Every structure is written in C-alpha cells, then in structure tokens.
Amino acid sequence: MSNTIQLQQSVLQDVASLLDDNEAMKKLQKYLQRLKSERMAKEEMSAKEKEEILDDIRDGLRELKLTKQGKLKSRPVEELLNEL
C-alpha cells in the first residue's frame, strides 16, 4: 500500500513540475488519453473473449446433455483428436 502511495506522490510531483510548460502538458495529456484508450480496449477485448469461452462451454454442455439423452451420437476420442 505504501508503495502505491509513494508512486502516486512521485507521479503527482512530476506532473506538478510540468504545470508551467504548456507544450509538455499537451504531450502529457495526449499520452494519458492514449493510455486510457489502450486500457479500455484491453478490457473490452477481455470481456469479448470471456463471452466466447462461456458460449463454447454452454455449447459443449448442451451437446453432452443431448448425448446422454441419446439424441446425439458421440464420436470416438481419436476422431476428435484428429480434428484438432
């Protein structure tokens, strides 16, 4: 926790030292916007990936249920491995 506070203080001190330099502030602002955009894109991608994985699991469970009910024929493991 104290490391986080020290890091925050250091960052704020660095930013404070740039407050009088408009050019540096513009560059910092662009960089911060880019960081935020990258973080949001990464989070969105993760959510999409999680949803795809859950959909695949749901499909597999449906197939398993149908197989147990005798409504779907199972395949030999060798056939499945060859497909992969």
Q: How many domains does the chain fold into? A: 1
pTM over the 0.75 mark: no
Domain interval for residue 53: 2-83
| Alpha helices (H) in the chain, listed in sequence order | 2-18, 22-68, 77-83
Compute the mean pLDDT over every residue in the chain, rounded to the nearest whole number.
89
**Distance of alpha carbon 84 from alpha carbon 82, whole angstroms:** 5
Indicate the DSSP class of residue 72.
S
Predicted pLDDT at 62: 93
Angular region, 70: left φ>0, alpha ψ -120 to 50, beta rest = left
Residue 1 has pLDDT above 80, yes or no: no
- For residue range 19-45, list pLDDT tens digits in order: 899 999 999 999 999 999 998 888 887
Q: Please, which residues have CB within 8 angstroms of residue 18's CB and are 6 or more apart in sequence?
A: 24, 25, 28
The pLDDT tens digits for 54-84 are: 999 999 999 989 988 999 888 888 887 888 7
